[in-house]
Amino acid sequence: MDQAERAAYADAHQATLGHASRSRARPAGVPDRAPSDGVQPRRRGRPPLPTPRGLTELTTEEAFVDAVAAGDVILKTDTAGPPKIHTQPALCSGITKEDFRSKVIIGSGKNGRYFRLTDPAAAKRRWPRVALCGICKRLDPGEAKALDAAISASNLDPER
């Protein structure tokens, strides 16, 4: 390769690098992550899954605090174990603002997510291994038993 061929090759290579960096760059004002539209982010090359009806994802600290204060049933997913349903989030040590910040705000939901739950059957269809929180079961056994019955009934009726 002579000097002219080397120069032509270097110019072509620089043009390719410039094109690649421009195609990856985000325009000014475009966030790194789109706001939540009910669709969970991609899961290791798989298409995103929509959030089922009966579940509302909690994506802001304000929404989380409001859900806990209202006494809503909260479902918490975790990559280390099955999702847990918390019937007493204000009293349960498994539901904390610090954990929410760590998982959702800082971790962008990579290690787990929080949902407001209105339909236990939807949770069972989406996560077949969903379980009730042991602490919440002890705090209100009656509510836990009713919720457990609702989840079990969803197994029997495939149309639910």
Q: Model pTM? A: 0.64
Across the chain, mean pLDDT equals 79
Q: Is the pLDDT of residue 22 over 70?
A: no
Reduced to 3 states, what is the DSSP secondary structure of residue 58? coil
Give per-residue pLDDT as tens, 113-157.
Answer: 999 998 888 888 888 888 888 898 888 888 878 888 877 776 544
pLDDT at 24: 55
Give per-residue pLDDT as tens, 44-59.
Answer: 666 667 787 888 999 9
Q: How confident is the model at residue 69 (pLDDT cuts 50, 70, 90)?
A: very high
Write phi, then psi, for 35 (nearest 5 degrees).
-65, 155
What percent helix, strand, coil does the chain show, rounded to 5? 45, 15, 40
Residue 140, phi-psi category: left (phi > 0), alpha (psi -120 to 50), beta (remainder) = beta
- Check the CA dihedral 17-22-26-28 and report its sign: positive
**Of 113, 140, 95, nearest to 55 (Cα)?**
113
Q: How confident is the model at residue 30 (pLDDT cuts 50, 70, 90)?
A: low
